[in-house]
Structure 1
Amino acid sequence: MTLVLRPSRKREPVPALPLPPLRLPAELGLPALIILIALLLGGLPFLRLVLAAFAPGWQFAPETAFAAMTGRSAITATLHTLDTSFFSALGALAIGTVVALALGVTDVRGKRPLAFAFVFSMMIAPQVAALAFLSLLAPNSQVLMLLGLTPAPGTANPLLGRGGIILVMALHHAPLVAITLWTGLRSIPHSLVEAAQMEGAGPATITSRIIVPVLRPQFIAAGLIAFVAGVGNFGIPALLGLPVNYLTLPTLIYRRLSSFGPESLPETAALALLVGAVAALGILAGMAVARRQGGKVEIERPLEPFWLLGPARPFVAAGLWLLLLVKLGLPFFALLSEALTPALGVPLSWQTLTFDKFAEVLFRQAVTIRAFWNSFWFAAVAAILLSLTSIAFAYGLERRIGRLRRPVELIVELPYALPGVVLAIACILIFLRPLPLIGVSIYGTPFIILFAYLARFLPLALKAPLAAMAQIEAHHEEAAKLDGAGLWQMLRFIVAPILAPAAAVSALMVFLVAFNELTVSALLWSSGTETLGVVLFSLKEAGLAGEAAAIAISASAVILAAMLLLDLLGRHLPRNVLPWRI
């Protein structure tokens, strides 16, 4: 056997196969995207705020924060905040309870327009409400002139200071209480009332011994909601407190930041955390009440009006309309008359009637025209982006994210639950320096306000789509999967068309709240990015009350038009999405 040796062949290197791009499966991609957006909009701002307060210059130094929180001015402002928030919450609870029970358990006429007007009084900006009441009780008030109650010239407005802040905040936050109680009333089975009626109980007895005790958790929650709203309210304490140096925590932060600029950021960050801590006490108490309330009860027939008023029916309706006259009608008539007269103190008549101030702020003054456009575009862009985002969020939270849903919802709700001034300081801290990678700072640009609006109003945008998604059965999605549709195709062609009406309502709700917003934009605006709330506040501080009144009336007209459009769309939505459709 002959062995043949052959020359060995040189092995050529095997070409390396390209690595496949790193892609998450569709089932994980949507939850990952939702968590990322939640952390970016909800988690990052408050993490940055904590770091700035307790580690200024990236060095742990908590003594700076504690010194700011325990200073004399901070303690005084904290006491003022607790005082005005507590007593205004009591007032709101009293007013809101009367309205909620009158519209919820009685057969009073005109429930829909009454509820609509009551909620509208809350949808207008707090600074507009404060300006309207200032005009009502001013020494030159047209309403006081008509009633023959004009005070002596030079008399101080009685609303300036603590009492006025408590009164106006109580009236402004009363609809929050009513909305919360209306939700509670819908969860009471009518069989309880029928059982009591069979035992011979009258409507007053049923209300006091059944309805009110059952609603006790809602009463506590409503009071806490009004308290938290009072803690974060900036517009009312700014217009009624700053002129007499009565400072709450939000107005103290505003004064510090406007006086000392970015150099005061570590101190204002600590004060913002103090505001957040005070508000968090109310939020945590509300969550504890909700947990102790127990599980859901299946209701075959929800509560219906059982208190037949009989001859007292027109008087109850008149009392509710009188409340709205005091809360909304008279203040806005005073505001309108101030905008329609040529000068302060001139009686309103056909001879003195002029629209010059409206023409001035709507067509002549560049800053007010710019403010209208800025407010419109900020609110509109935020509403559109959030309505589109809410569709994916609603589907992901309801179908895909599983046990992480509640933690993600809590992170998302942070910017909306805590006072706006806290979010504003956090945004300044994040965007004051150039962003990594791109080396550009958005501080002083419209994008910082837009980011703040997206973070703050995402929970509001999610409300209607989540309610609609919870009512959609999964067989549509299962059929799409059998046909080979991917996740994003299913979102585009199946989920999005179904949730589109709810997303449209979300967009309008976001627009309603963002259009007149002041708390966030008061600290984030710069030359060229003024909003309506900022300009109104500036005009009032400059003594141009008539021009400020014209802006307030014009902005409120936009809010009214948006609410009427919402009411039309509400007929095609799940019940109880719009708070005034009781």
Structure 2
Amino acid sequence: MLTLSVLHRIPKELEWAARSSGAGAYLMFRKVTLPLALPGIAGGGLLAFISGLDNFGIPAFLGIPENVSVLSTFIYEQVIGFGPSAFARASVLSILLAILALAGTGLQWLIVRKSKVDQTSAADKSVRVPLGNRRPGAELAVWGFLLVTSVLPLLSMASTAFLKAYGLPFVWENLTWKHFEFVLQNHAGTRAAISNSLMLAGMAGLFCLIAGTWFAHWRIQRPSFAGKAMEGAIALPYALPGMVLGLAMILTWIEPIPGWQPGLYGTVWLIFLSYVIRFFILQVKSSTVSIMQVGKEVEEAARINGARYWTRWRRVLLPLYSPGMLTGLFLVFLTAFTELTISSLLWTSGSETIGVVIFSFEQAGSTTHSTALSTLIVAAILLVLSVGSWLKQLWQRRIEE
């Protein structure tokens, strides 16, 4: 996605100029397209790299049962194993994981520091390279890839949720609704987890919406070295793997000051604080995009006409900033709602989240219950995405009218 957004902003004129100067398709790609697309490629590569280092759910589900460990699951096993040196070993592993993540960030900076991309160019989504007769084959390959990697696993998961017992053939006499009934009505932990996840994601999203938008506005309106340094500090927790942040929160809030225990550790509020710290930058970046598209003269005109600070925000700025603000809110909410890495370390009895409950079901061998709850969550997310897409289309039509 990051690469695609950059490719859309590469002016066609540059490619046409290379073509008219005798460059072939390969030379044009190597000399023109690739250097200009490097920021997006490096950004996407870094995101994939950090996500791979940070990911806990996939290696926990697939690796732990087969004794295949990665750093994130190994840190988790050290922490839950307790013992006198458990946190010390986990801290050393977390430092190693953080070094690897920061090395990836530094590599991205080295790649893009000399790259130039015109962020003011309008996105051109027209076809650059027509495939001609090769298009049906290319589309078939892409759809086949998506079918195997996305659709079939979700259908397999959903079908397992309807089976009376895991491993039975998918025939009519083996189907039942009882697993959905169990996770929604009979299992108190699931109801508490859904409530906790909704509350934590909603509160984190609302806090980041207000504070993140205000910070982005201040950062753009009053540019300074201090603001740039603060933005870097805000972005650091997101660049670090979630397992590192979770362990840091434990070690910090068990006893922040020698002899003083604030009582935050072991509560749902520590998870909330961790969500805010980790996902705050998502709201800042989303709000920054909208704020940069609104000229300073708009706010200055409102000030000249006597509008006070809060009046300017309510009547002028908020309506203009709302697209980016709502995008950031949705991104923070959805990311926090489905989060597992931090929650796996910080949860205690009564503060379980949806990811923790699904993981616990699977660890206990209740595959049909874990797939039932997972199917419900996937259906809810798809519904929210559909509604969001519909609202976005309505908004665009309103703007065009």
TM over 0.5: yes
Say whether the 8 Å CA contact 1:435–1:441 is kept in structure 2: no
- Give the aligned residue type for 2:165: A
What is the DSSP-based 3-state SS (H/G/I as helix, E as strand, rest coil) of the residue aligned with 1:528?
coil
RMSD, aligned α-carbons? 2.7
Deviation at 1:483, TM superposition (A): 3.9
Equivalent residue number for residue 393 of structure 1: 215
Equivalent residue number for residue 228 of structure 1: 50
Distance 2:127 2:85 in 1: 58
Q: What are the Cα deviations for residues 411-469 of structure 1, in whole angstroms up to 9, with x where unaligned?
A: 01011111001111111122213789996311111100000000111111122211010
Equivalent residue number for residue 9 of structure 2: 187
Distance 1:188 1:533 in 2: 40
Equivalent residue number for residue 399 of structure 2: none
- Among residues 363, 367, 376, which one is paired with 1:545 in the alignment? 367
Deviation at 1:269, TM superposition (A): 2.5
Alignment of 1:279-318 (within 5 A): 279-294=101-116, 296=118, 299=121, 302=124, 304-318=126-140
1:215 aligns with 2:37: yes
- Give the aligned residue type for 2:152: L
Structure 2: where are the runs of 5+ without partners? 397-401
Say whether the 8 Å CA contact 1:505–1:569 is kept in structure 2: no
What is the DSSP-based 3-state SS (H/G/I as helix, E as strand, rest coil) of the residue aligned with 2:332?
helix
- Among residues 399, 406, 430, which one is paired with 2:252 in the alignment? 430
Deviation at 1:318, TM superposition (A): 1.9
1:325 aligns with 2:147: yes
Q: What are the Cα deviations for residues 361-387 of structure 1, in whole angstroms up to 9, with x where unaligned?
A: 122111112111111111111112211
Distance 1:526 1:457 in 2: 22
Equivalent residue number for residue 182 of structure 2: 360
Equivalent residue number for residue 19 of structure 1: none
1:468 aligns with 2:268: no
Distance 1:197 1:458 in 2: 44
Alignment of 1:25-424 (within 5 A): 179-198=1-20, 207=29, 210-212=32-34, 214-216=36-38, 218-260=40-82, 264-294=86-116, 296=118, 299=121, 302=124, 304-424=126-246
- Give the aligned residue type for 1:188: I
Say whether the 8 Å CA contact 2:247–2:345 is kept in structure 1: yes
Distance 2:88 2:222 in 1: 40
Say whether the 8 Å CA contact 2:36–2:116 is kept in structure 1: no
1:450 aligns with 2:269: no
- 1:248 to 1:511, Cα distance in 2 relative to 1, 3 A: same
Equivalent residue number for residue 494 of structure 1: 316
Say whether the 8 Å CA contact 1:273–1:422 is kept in structure 2: yes
- Give the aligned residue type for 1:421: M
What is the DSSP-based 3-state SS (H/G/I as helix, E as strand, rest coil) of the residue aligned with 1:354?
coil
- 1:347 to 1:467, Cα distance in 2 relative to 1, 3 A: same
Distance 1:451 1:525 in 2: 13
Q: What are the Cα deviations for residues 146-182 of structure 1, in whole angstroms up to 9, with x where unaligned?
A: xxxxxxxxxxxxxxxxxxxxxxxxxxxxxxxxx1211
What is the DSSP-based 3-state SS (H/G/I as helix, E as strand, rest coil) of the residue aligned with 2:355?
helix
Distance 1:565 1:261 in 2: 48
- Give the aligned residue type for 2:75: I
Say whether the 8 Å CA contact 2:197–2:337 is kept in structure 1: yes
What is the DSSP-based 3-state SS (H/G/I as helix, E as strand, rest coil) of the residue aligned with 1:187?
coil
Q: Which structure's CA Rg is the greater one?
A: 1
- 1:470 to 1:481, Cα distance in 2 relative to 1, 3 A: same
1:526 aligns with 2:386: no
Distance 1:318 1:517 in 2: 33
**Number of positions where the alignment pairs a residue of Structure 1 with one of Structure 2:** 396
Q: What are the Cα deviations for residues 110-137 of structure 1, in whole angstroms up to 9, with x where unaligned?
A: xxxxxxxxxxxxxxxxxxxxxxxxxxxx
- 1:297 to 1:352, Cα distance in 2 relative to 1, 3 A: closer
- 1:289 to 1:213, Cα distance in 2 relative to 1, 3 A: closer
What is the DSSP-based 3-state SS (H/G/I as helix, E as strand, rest coil) of the residue aligned with 2:81?
helix
Deviation at 1:315, TM superposition (A): 2.6
Distance 2:84 2:284 in 1: 34
- 1:329 to 1:439, Cα distance in 2 relative to 1, 3 A: closer
The alignment-based identity, stated in percent, is: 33
- Give the aligned residue type for 1:539: F
Deviation at 1:263, TM superposition (A): 6.4
Say whether the 8 Å CA contact 1:539–1:547 is kept in structure 2: yes
Distance 1:301 1:427 in 2: 41
Q: What are the Cα deviations for residues 246-295 of structure 1, in whole angstroms up to 9, with x where unaligned?
A: 22221111111111078633432232222111110001111222212146
Distance 1:358 1:242 in 2: 26
Q: What are the Cα deviations for residues 285-313 of structure 1, in whole angstroms up to 9, with x where unaligned?
A: 11222212146476477463122233333
Q: What are the Cα deviations for residues 196-228 of structure 1, in whole angstroms up to 9, with x where unaligned?
A: 454677767755664345434543443333222
Q: What are the Cα deviations for residues 511-546 of structure 1, in whole angstroms up to 9, with x where unaligned?
A: 111111000000000001111111111111111111
Distance 1:572 1:185 in 2: 27
What is the DSSP-based 3-state SS (H/G/I as helix, E as strand, rest coil) of the residue aligned with 1:306?
coil
TM-score by length of 2: 0.89
- 1:198 to 1:569, Cα distance in 2 relative to 1, 3 A: farther
Distance 1:411 1:537 in 2: 32
1:513 aligns with 2:301: no
Distance 1:532 1:477 in 2: 43
- 1:566 to 1:509, Cα distance in 2 relative to 1, 3 A: farther
Distance 2:207 2:120 in 1: 36
- 1:485 to 1:401, Cα distance in 2 relative to 1, 3 A: farther
Distance 2:123 2:350 in 1: 55
- 1:563 to 1:366, Cα distance in 2 relative to 1, 3 A: same
- 1:297 to 1:498, Cα distance in 2 relative to 1, 3 A: closer
